[in-house]
Amino acid sequence: MEFDTKLIHGGISEDKYTGATSVPIYMASTFHQQKIGENEYEYSRSGNPTREAVEKLIADLEDGTAGFAFASGSAAIDTVFSLFSAGDHFVIGNDVYGGTFRLIDAVLKRFGMTFTVVDTRDLQAVKAAITPATKAIYLEAPTNPLLRVTDIAAVAKIAKDRGILSIIDNTFSSPYVQRPLDLGVDIVLHSASKYLGGHSDLVAGLVVTKDQALGEKIGYLQNAIGGILAPQESWLLQRGMKTLSLRMRAHLANAEAIFNYLKNQPLVSKIYYPGDPKNPDYEVAQKQMHGFGAMISFELQAGLDPKQFVEQLQVITLAESLGALESLIEIPALMTHGSIPRDIRLKNGIKDELIRLSVGVEDQKDLLADLERGFDQLKGSHQDVSNSKVHSQA
């Protein structure tokens, strides 16, 4: 089936017991066993029909063999790292979600794991960072929040040549835009709260593998650790995923329109968007992405207050998260990446003036008018500051 059809009919698309075209919410903690060891379901932590439906659907969409649903993206990431042991080393991208950095820095390092941070676009740096203790390369593409695009197939090949795993967070793209397993990656992660759910009404994480044996290991850990997605959220997530293609087409069109607006805005000093032909990652993005996603980050001119800008908006919602029907805007230094020390943020290019915008599906005219409102407010304050400086000098 083609992708759009998989969304509707992939995985388990109807209830096998009743034929219902919406898999029911099985709010059961345990299941009656007619004979010991012969039941398909025994206990909901180990397996639940509603969760299984969404797990098989994401496996189909990512062209994998096994999918796993967790209570959050962070729970998914932590479970994947539980594949490894104290003393194991990892190469990790230098522009990752703040929550991933927090997990690594405050938790996994205490358990004896070690990490080398590199720009994964630099393939020589990736190779040089690998040691005999290295077990995996972990990256995002595009990254959060600077939208850097790594050549996924090239990094996956490096990992395979060295006998280690490649792990990618595919949240910013969704399988509509990019399917890393087809590019050779071993494990794909999603914060399914974002584009896959799409409606800001659930928190969830997903993991997909192509290798069956690797999937069995993750399945064992999912059951052993227990950070599973509940039946209600599993049902909401599957329902949200069915409209992914329709939503993504609107997201992508709006993002392109906003990029074209921002590049002519004098109060913006820099734009981070994979679809920018001037972006050094543009050719790589063209090669491995279907469209350029709907995330845009941009820096205001030095000295301008990003809080003053985002707090003036009326259509675009000031909130953490992304990938929702509504457009969401935030300041990484103060919000999603606030857990990263400032010196490390600045070293990695996350300036105080950086703003991250998740472009929703509202009417383009309303979105552009809202941005104009924010910039008008900045222009006024910028002029006030300039006048104040002139009077002071006089």
Q: Which residues are catalytic?
A: 45, 97, 169, 194
Half-sphere exposure of residue 9, counting CA atoms within 13 Å on the CB side?
5
User: Residue 275 in 3-state DSSP?
Assistant: coil
Closest CA to 54 of 178, 251, 190: 190
Closest CA to 115 of 98, 135, 95: 135
Backbone angles phi, psi at 161, to 5 degrees: -65, -30
Amino acid at residue number 151: D
Closest CA to 255 of 373, 101, 142, 385: 142
Largest separation between any pair of C-alpha atoms in the chain: 92
Closest CA to 43 of 31, 53, 35, 32: 31
325 CB neighbour count, 10 Å cutoff = 16
**For helices 73-81 and 212-225, angle between their N-to-C axes, nearest 10 degrees:** 110
- Which residue shows structure tokens 């293609």? 245
